[in-house]
């Protein structure tokens, strides 16, 4: 909030829990009332849980699917009428390398991000004639607060980070601004002929 407030009246912030469909609808309704249309939607809310399928409870499964999949789906649903009022509209959904291939010890997360990737492709086909482009960004391991929380749960954090970075051909983890730059490109008119793509931002991992 502090960073957003630094932009003054040029930024408006609406708090919502995207795992709740009613809140997705309400926040898009408020945006429509205030601005009348939308040009860009970036669905970046997500949660992660590590561990094999044996330990997954129904509540944990629901949290991941409700946030990662249902939230993305219904934000798109309620945003589309507003996006149709824009001449050059774009949706960018943040998926994952786990939405392109399997990852160990996170089957529920893989399922959720696979859904986001294919949702993006399906919507791209449905909305192409409406001049709404839809793409997915598929990051690998990125240094974020979510990764910091996962790291804090490890008995040997240095070893954990080293082993996490080891499979990457570039030899390191990604940075948030590297994902942001690709997201901004896909949202911009520079990517006017790009829709239905799933863009890896993963240091060569999925290559």
**Is the C-alpha dihedral spanning 111, 113, 116, 117 positive or negative?**
negative
- 84 and 28 in contact (C-beta within 8 Å)? no
- 174 and 202 in contact (C-beta within 8 Å)? yes
Contacts of 176 (CB under 8 A, 6+ apart): 142, 143, 144
Tokens of 118: 């294919």
Q: Is 109 a catalytic residue?
A: yes
DSSP state of 137: E
Read off φ and ψ for residue 43, nearest 5 degrees.
-95, 105
**Is the C-alpha dihedral spanning 92, 176, 106, 150 positive or negative?**
negative
Q: Which of 14, 109, 160, 168 is catalytic?
A: 109
DSSP state of 205: T
Query: Which residue's structure tokens are 């919502």?
Result: 16
Give catalytic residue positions.
Answer: 109
């Amino acid at each position: 909030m502090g960073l957003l407030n630094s932009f003054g009246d040029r930024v408006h912030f609406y708090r919502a829990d995207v795992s709740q469909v009613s809140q997705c609808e309400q926040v898009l309704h408020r945006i429509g009332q205030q601005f009348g249309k939308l040009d860009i939607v970036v669905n970046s809310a997500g949660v992660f849980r590590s561990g094999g399928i044996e330990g997954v409870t129904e509540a944990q499964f629901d949290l991941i699917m409700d946030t990662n999949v249902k939230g993305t789906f219904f934000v798109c649903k309620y945003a589309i009428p507003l996006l149709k009022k824009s001449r050059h509209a774009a949706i960018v959904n943040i998926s994952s390398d786990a939405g392109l291939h399997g990852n160990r010890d996170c089957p529920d997360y893989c399922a959720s991000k696979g859904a986001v990737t294919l949702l993006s492709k399906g919507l791209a086909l449905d909305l192409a004639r409406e001049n709404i482009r839809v793409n997915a960004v598929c990051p690998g391991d990125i240094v974020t607060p979510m990764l910091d929380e996962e790291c804090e749960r490890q008995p040997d954090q240095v070893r954990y980070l080293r082993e996490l970075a080891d499979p990457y051909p570039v030899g390191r983890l990604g940075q948030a601004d590297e994902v942001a730059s690709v997201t901004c490109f896909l949202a911009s008119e520079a990517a006017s002929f790009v829709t239905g793509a799933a863009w890896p931002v993963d240091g060569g991992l999925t290559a």
